[in-house]
Structure formats: structure tokens, C-alpha cells
Structure 1
Amino acid sequence: MLSVYIDLAIGLVLAFLLLSLLVSGLNEAIVRLLGIRSKFLWAYLRDTLDGGPRKGVSWIPSKIIDVFAKLPFSRHDPRPRHDPDPAPPVVEPMPVDPGAVLAAKASAPPVDMTKRLYERLQEIDHPKGTRTSIADIPPERFSSALLELVAAEEDGVEGLIAKLEAIHSPLAGHLRGVWEGAQRDMGKFRKGVEDWFDGEMQRLSKLYRRYVKWVVFALALTLTLLFSMDSLEYGKTLLRDNAYRAAVAAIAGGGGDGTAELKDSLKDKCAVAGSVEPYSCVTEVFSSPALVKIFDHAMMSVTIPADDAGSPSFTFNATTWWNRLITIGHWPGYLVTVFALLFGASFWWDILRRLTGIRTSRS
């Protein structure tokens, strides 16, 4: 009896794993197609290096609809233009005279610090459209790029910070804090920049995941309703299927007289009027387990013929699917499915690995 419930757990976990993989695949496809991860990173860099496009306005959107509706399709792409050439061997100093700017009390000159940073990162870029596709910058690479900008200045770190302050770059305050904390030691300064940038990337990742979880929820809900995946109903189907197979195995092995229970199960499954044809029904049921029929109630189902000569057939089940969708009794199962998919494919793979004893090799 225990094996029946273990089979039930494995069947449900495998169903959740398949749907979670589909949700993750769709989410990743949307993110890559629209370049959202790369745009999100460079929006942060625009805010940090150059400030907002207007005073008090951030490049990073503040609402979920802005991230997935405005940011991907906005004409003001925060990413620099892709350059297939390697980084220039000579770094030009920043064309700003901080003394003249501060004395004249003029507005900050149009210096594109984001572009200057990208010039030092071109080697890790790869062609994908007209804009850069860099979506991740290692802290060590960021600190190296920053030190290259520092080396171009006559006064080193102090000169770069002074020019950043003159153009009102938000990066100036961060660098001054790191420089003072490193006690003006270049080695400690580089390590401090790496730690600071690593902390900023962790904070940015948490913010990004906060936005993405709403997209995952929307995809999970859409797929659950599209496939009409009622977890509670599917669990009952698995239990009946496993109990039926256990009865057949018991009779075949001579482990007891389960003919009455088997006939009742055959009648429920085959629905043959008059008498039950055991051999043909057993063959049919064993060739179509409950796990194979997980998507039978979807809007469009696929039937694969038993013989190799036939081709798969597609059936449009709009009427049946809609009747299940508007039936209140199925909604608790839908909600269980959506809630389960929010845990992600990695969670359900770990549960499946624990239940089946699958070992994964680790380097």
C-alpha cells in the first residue's frame, strides 16, 4: 500500500516538474527575446554613473508594468550601442575641468560615463543587435575597468572623483567613500570597489527577482488554465491507476485473489457494456498510464498512435476545456497547481531526486 502513495508522490512531483520547466522556459525566452536582463543592468549603471535622464527620474522602472511593458519597448534604451572592436588601448582622460565647471556654476557637461565604462568592457560583449547584450559584469572586471579610467587621470583616484563630482555623477559619492575607507591605498581601494559592486549586484538581483516573480505567477496561471491541470483530480487518477496496476500485478504473481476488485476497476476504466474483456482492456490501460494523460483536458490535445505507421493527431477540445474551466469544483485543484509551480523547477527536481534516489555528480 505504501508503494501506491510513493507512486502518487512521484507522479505529482513529475507533473509539477514538467510544468515548472515549461514556465521557466517561457520566462527565459521572454527575457532573452526582449533583452530585459541586460536593459535592467544598464538602467542601474545609467543611474549610478550618469544619474537619471532628468533630475529626480530613474532609469530603472518602479513598477512591474514598466519593467515588462515600457522598458523593453522604450525608445530610450539604457544600453550603450554595441561596438565589435576591442577596447581602445589608450584610455582618454575625462574631458572635464572641475575647477572651471564649479567656478562658473554651470550645468554639468554632457559626459557619458556609461559609454566610457562600456569601452573598457567591450571584450566580454558579443554581437546581438545594435545594442550591447552584456547582462552580467563580474566585480573583478568592473574594478579593472574603473582602475583603467583612474590610470588615465593625472591625479589618479582624486582626479577622477573630482571630475565625477563636477558632472554630478552619483558614482562620485560611492567612490569617495570607498577611497577614504581604503585609507587611500590602491590595493585596498580595488578590493573595496569589488565588494561594493558585488553588494550592489546582489541588491539589484533581489529587485529583479521581485519583478520576475509576478511574470512567473502570470505564466503559471496561464499554463494551468490552458492545460486545465487540476492537481486534486490528477492525484485521484494516479491513485486509481496505481491501485489498478497493483491488483493486476498481484493476480499475475499469484499473490491473492483480487479478481473482484480487478473487475470493478476494469468496469470503471473500460466502461464496456455487458461484460469486461480483460486482456484488451489491460493492454490498453497499461499502454496509457495516468501520467501520459496529464494534458488530455487541454484546449488542444495530442494523441500518438500505437503503431509506428500512424502520425500524431491533434484534437481541439474547446468545449470540454471551457466547461472544465467554468466548473467551480476544479478551481481548488487549479490553485494548488499554480502554488506548486511557484516553487520552480529546481525545487521539484530536488524532491524527485530525493524520492527516486537519483544521485547527481558534483565536481
Structure 2
Amino acid sequence: MISVYVDLAIGLVLAFLLLSLLVSGINEGMVRLLSIRSKFLWAYLKDTLDGPPAEGESHLPSRPMDVFARLPFARKGRDPRPVHDPEPSPPVVEPMPSDEALRAGDEAPRVDMTARLYARLREIDHAKGRRTSIATIPPNRFGVAVMEMVSAEHGGVEGFLKKLEEIGSPLHGHLSGVWKSAANDLERFRKGTEEWFDGEMQRLSMLYRRYVRWVVALLGLLVVLAFSMDSLEYAKSLLRDNGYRAGVAAIAGDSDGLSALRTRCAEQTDPYACVTESFSSPALVQIFDHSIVSLRMPEDGAPGISWNFGTWAERIITPGHWPGFLLSFVALLFGASFWWDILRRLTGLRRISP
């Protein structure tokens, strides 16, 4: 009797694992196709280095869905990423405009700190269209880039911070605190800059994951509805499958176990063909028969795809299936890693050490 419940648990976990992997795959495909990570990173850097645009609209979205609604499909002029440059970083860092030019009012040249930073990071970029594909920046590389820009200014760190203040860069406030805590020590300033950037990237990663959870939840809901995955009905099918297989095994042992076979194969003349078809279509395969598009694998001929809209729509609007849909949706929110860990524990699988 215990084995029946173990089989039921493994079947449910395996189904949730497969659907969770599908959700994760769709999400990762969207992220890579639309370069969401690199756009998110450069949107943050642009806000940190240059401040918000003149119209007052921040580059970094303030609402979760803006990440996947505005940034991925942004027009060319609104893409926060710098244009990809295959050339290596120039050996000589150009200094920022002089103090007199920065104080010239409306005629003062605009200082694009984001472009200046990217000029020091070209070596870690690779081509992907016309925009940079940098999705992560190592903290030590960021610290070196800042020190290279500092070395180009007269007055060292203090001169660099002064110009950042004059151009209104938010980076001035962050680096000023690092410089004060470093007590005029350049090595400590570099390390402090790396630690500050590392902390900011951790905060940005947490923000990004919080935004992604909304998208994963939406994808999970769409997957559950597309496959019309009723967990309660699926659990019942697993138990029915187990009972049927036990009946067939009893027949093989010359016992009285014909009831399950008679029930399923009542309308078929060939019981052997019925048994073969039943064993080749377990409950795990049958859950995909109720999707909006189903895959059929006939005994003879090639597999075919059929439009199953009528049956699918009837299941979706039937209130009796809604509790099972809700249970499936909640299960997918745990993620593929969670269900893989549960499956390993149930089956006794161990991690393969490299």
C-alpha cells in the first residue's frame, strides 16, 4: 500500500518538474532573446552615472512589469545599452571637460559617464547586434575602470569627484563617501569602490529576481491553462493506472485480476492490443492530451499534431477543474530546482560529483 502512495508522489513531482522546466525555459529564452539582463544592468548604471533623463523619466523602471514591457521592446533611442564597439579600450583616457567649460551654462558640453565607463570595459564585451551584450560586470573590473578615469584628471580623486559634482552625476555622492572612508588612500579607495559596486550589484540582482517572479508566475499560469493541468484529476489517473497495472500483473500470475482489464478494454476485441496501448500511454503522457494543441503518436505512421480547442475550452470553463488548476499553479511557483530536489529524495538519486 505504501508503494502506491510513493508512485503517486513520484508521478506528481515528475509532472510538476517537467512543467516547471518548461516555464523556466520559456523565461530564460525571453531573457536571452531580448537581452533583458544587460538592458536592466545598463539602465541602472545610466541612472547611477548620469542621473535621470531631462524629461524626468527614470531609465530604471519603477514597476515590475516595466522590465519586460518597456526595456525589452524599447526603441533604439531608448535602449540604455551603449552601442557595441569591437575595438579595445583606448590606451589613453580622455579627461573630462575643464572646470571653465563645465561652468559655461547652456553651452557646457554634456558628459556621458555611461559611455566613458563602457570605453574602459570593451574588452569584456562581445558582439550581439549593435548594442552591448554585457550582462554582468566584475567588481574588480569596475574598480579598475574608475581608477583609470581618475588618473586622467588633474587633482586625482578629489579633482574627479569635483567634476562629478559639477556635472550632477549621482556617482559623486557614492564615491565621496568611499573616498572619505579610505582616508586619502588610493588602494583603499579602489577596494572600497569594488565593495560598493559589488553591494549594488547584489541589491540589483535581488530587485531583478523580484521583478522576474511576476513574469514566472504569469508564465506558470499560462502553462497550466495551456495544458489544462488538473492536478487532482492527474492524481486520480495515477491511482487508476496503478490499479490497472496491478490487475494486469495479477493476470500474468494466473490470479483473478481481470476486472481492471475488462473495464478498460470492454469495447475492444483484441485485449493484447488494449494492454499494449494502455502501457504505452501512462497517466504522465495522458495529461498532455487535454492541452490546446495535442501530440498524437499512432501505432502506424508518423506522429501528428491536432487542434484540441473544443475539449480544452470545455475543461477551462468547467468549475470542477479549477481547484486542480489552482493546485498546479501554486506548485509551479516553487520552481524546477525545488521539484528536482524532491524527486531526488523520493527516488534516492544522488548528486553526481564532478
Q: What TM-score, normalized by structure 2, do the two folds share? A: 0.93
AA in 1 matched with 2:292: M
**Structure 1 contact 120–145 (Cα < 8 Å) conserved:** yes
AA in 2 matched with 1:272: E
AA in 2 matched with 1:33: L
**Residue of structure 1 equivalent to 2:284:** 291
SS at match of 1:315: strand
Q: Post-superposition shift, 1:285?
A: 1.5
Q: Post-superposition shift, 1:113?
A: 0.2
Q: Post-superposition shift, 1:66?
A: 2.3
Q: What do residues 83-136 of structure 1 show as CA deviations (whole Å, max 9, x unaligned)?
A: 011111111112231x6646x677864100000000111111111111111111
Number of residue pairs matched by the alignment: 352
**Does structure 1 residue 141 correspond to structure 2 residue 141?**
yes
Unaligned runs of 5+ in 1: none
**Does structure 1 residue 189 correspond to structure 2 residue 189?**
yes
* In 2: Cα distance, 1:120 partner to 1:316 partner: 54
**Residue of structure 2 equivalent to 1:282:** 275
Q: What do residues 169-201 of structure 1 show as CA deviations (whole Å, max 9, x unaligned)?
A: 000110010111122222222221111111111
**Does structure 1 residue 353 correspond to structure 2 residue 348?**
no
**Does structure 1 residue 2 correspond to structure 2 residue 40?**
no
Between 52-61 and 215-224, the greater mean CA deviation after superposition: 52-61
* In 1: Cα distance, 2:135 partner to 2:277 partner: 51
Superposition pairs for residues 127-276 of structure 1, below 5 Å? 127-253=127-253, 257=255, 259=256, 262-272=257-267
Q: Post-superposition shift, 1:350?
A: 1.3
**Structure 1 contact 101–108 (Cα < 8 Å) conserved:** yes
SS at match of 1:302: strand
Q: What do residues 2-47 of structure 1 show as CA deviations (whole Å, max 9, x unaligned)?
A: 1111111111111111111111111111122222211111010011
Superposition pairs for residues 20-31 of structure 1, below 5 Å? 20-31=20-31
* In 1: Cα distance, 2:239 partner to 2:107 partner: 73
**Residue of structure 1 equivalent to 2:304:** 313
Superposition pairs for residues 117-132 of structure 1, below 5 Å? 117-132=117-132
AA in 2 matched with 1:31: V
Match of 1:331 among 322, 332, 345: 322
Q: What do residues 201-229 of structure 1 show as CA deviations (whole Å, max 9, x unaligned)?
A: 11111111121111111111111111111
**Structure 2 contact 102–166 (Cα < 8 Å) conserved:** yes
* In 1: Cα distance, 2:131 partner to 2:177 partner: 32
**Residue of structure 1 equivalent to 2:294:** 301
Q: Post-superposition shift, 1:247?
A: 3.5
**Structure 1 contact 109–167 (Cα < 8 Å) conserved:** no
CA pair 46-130 structure 1, distance change in 2 beyond 3 A: same
Between 147-156 and 110-119, the greater mean CA deviation after superposition: 147-156
**Residue of structure 2 equivalent to 1:57:** 57
Cα root mean square deviation, aligned? 2.0
Q: Post-superposition shift, 1:252?
A: 3.2
* In 2: Cα distance, 1:106 partner to 1:115 partner: 21
Percent identity for Structure 1 against Structure 2? 66
**Structure 2 contact 247–259 (Cα < 8 Å) conserved:** no
**Residue of structure 2 equivalent to 1:14:** 14
* In 1: Cα distance, 2:285 partner to 2:56 partner: 56
SS at match of 1:301: strand
Q: Post-superposition shift, 1:72?
A: 2.1
* In 1: Cα distance, 2:55 partner to 2:128 partner: 31
**Structure 2 contact 36–72 (Cα < 8 Å) conserved:** yes
**Does structure 1 residue 81 correspond to structure 2 residue 83?**
yes
* In 1: Cα distance, 2:4 partner to 2:235 partner: 11
SS at match of 1:40: helix
Q: What TM-score, normalized by structure 1, do the two folds share? A: 0.91
**Residue of structure 1 equivalent to 2:37:** 37
